[in-house]
Amino acid sequence: MAENLTTGELYKAKTILEADVVAAVEAFMADPTTTAFLFGDGYRIDLAASVAASTLATLVVKDGHATEHLKRAAVRTAILLARPE
């Protein structure tokens, strides 16, 4: 791959599907230590590192007062900003 596109850019190009993003969020929420997650056409992302790289997502996930919806939205944003291999 010549460019190191974000998950969001791959999603916009329809290379990664909505179902892939939803599954990645679900996987992180089920186990925040998940490292290897595979997307459709062989893209791999480290979910734990992706969320850790986002200050907002890290703070929201750890906030006991944050709603489940807010946590999932923050995790989704972190995943969309990450650059899969």
Residue 30 lies in a domain: yes
What is the reported pLDDT for 76? 98
Residue 2 lies in a domain: no
What is the reported pLDDT for 30? 97
Residue 14 lies in a domain: yes
Do residues 47 and 34 touch, judged by C-beta distance below 8 A?
Answer: yes
Q: How many domains does the chain have?
A: 1
pTM for the model stands at 0.93
What is the reported pLDDT for 58? 97
Residue 1 lies in a domain: no
The sign of the dihedral angle between the CA atoms of 60, 49, 77, 68 is negative
Number of neighbours of residue 8 by Cβ within 10 angstroms? 17
Residue 20 lies in a domain: yes
Under-70 pLDDT residues of the chain: 1-2
Residue 42 lies in a domain: yes
Element (DSSP H or E) covering residue 51: helix 47-52
Residue ranges making up the domain that contains 23? 7-81
What is the reported pLDDT for 59? 97
